[in-house]
Amino acid sequence: MPRILVTGATGNIGRLTLRHLLKRRPAGDLVGLARDPAKAADLAAAGIEIRRGDYFDREGLARAFAGIDTLMLVSATAFTDRDTQHRSAVEAAVAAGVRHVVAMPIIREPGSTFVMPQVTREDRFMEERLEASGLGWTLLAHPPFLDSIEFFVGGDALESGVRVPPGAGKAGFAARDDLAEAHAVVLGEIADGERRHDSRAYALYGDPAVSFADTAALLSTLAGRDVPYVTVPDADYIARLVAKGLPEPAAAFALAWVQGINEGAWNGAPGDLATLLGRKPVSADTFLRARFAGSER
């Protein structure tokens, strides 16, 4: 049977993707890649082979990719020389004889001028390397994660309100688990010879799109009291996150996400995610209701 390898097996998206693949395929068809295989002991216990690999080690990656038909290339972390890592992974896939690579760039709407530092340009570089590689490829482009809303608004919105820089833009946030399930669907179909995903780019928007003002309104409903939406200057937003212990570069990165959301950079047409899942994706209302269950007071 064709074997599927998912990189970043110890990270959120990689681990969730492998867990969803386990619901669809025998464990013997699955391989996870990790810099430290010991951190993937739970996946190994489920029967998934875990191979050691590092994006900076092209030769080691080529060995790790041996015998793999379909590869899920989980994006390298921002601020870690993503260009070198993604080039290394693509070149290793070619050397190992991988047939098809699935990647997960950020969504960029046609004509958008929004630039996400360490993300948008680097994602395009990865896409260009894939398109020129001769490999089969599919792009499963991500919006911001629903899982990150609490982080974007400072982690204590129920107590302090939703305090973010001003902007009325909405984003089609999607839950990591839904995105990982969509990955598993596409990976399994490609491994089985399905060609409809060849050279395709999907925009995995959640539905409906919400703004930060909408988020405050949803939290107000859940809490049974007013959770105010308060606009603050960029500098105050960063200072507040730093005061909570976040390094300043990470706080500035969070601000860039918030700015993109406020500009409507991820308010495109939904549909691809629901089509791949065969159901409606988890909405912001449902996600926040589960996250803050029991917080009403």
**What's the pTM?**
0.97
Residue ranges of the alpha helices (H) in the chain? 12-22, 41-45, 58-64, 82-96, 120-133, 149-152, 157-160, 176-191, 212-223, 234-243, 248-262, 272-277, 284-291
Residue 191, pLDDT score: 97
Q: What is the mean pLDDT of residues 86-102?
A: 98
Give domain status of residue 81, yes or no: yes
Q: What is the mean pLDDT of residues 66-90?
A: 97
Give domain status of residue 286, yes or no: no
Q: What is the mean pLDDT of residues 13-42?
A: 98
Residue 169, pLDDT score: 97
d(C-alpha 297, C-alpha 294), whole Å: 8
Give domain status of residue 30, yes or no: yes
Q: Confidence band (pLDDT; 50, 70, 90) for 297? A: very low
Residue 1, pLDDT score: 79
Q: What is the mean pLDDT of residues 222-248?
A: 95
Per-residue pLDDT for 103 more than 80? yes
Give the chain's mean pLDDT.
96
Percentage of the chain beyond pLDDT 70 is: 99
Give domain status of residue 162, yes or no: no
Neighbour count for residue 25 (Cβ, 10 Å): 19
Please count the CA atoms within 13 angstroms of the CA of 218 that sit on its side-chain side: 21
Range of the domain at 57: 4-141
Give domain status of residue 61, yes or no: yes
Per-residue pLDDT for 287 more than 50? yes
Give domain status of residue 247, yes or no: no
Please count the CA atoms within 13 angstroms of the CA of 254 that sit on its side-chain side: 26
Residue 294, pLDDT score: 57
Per-residue pLDDT for 293 more than 80? no
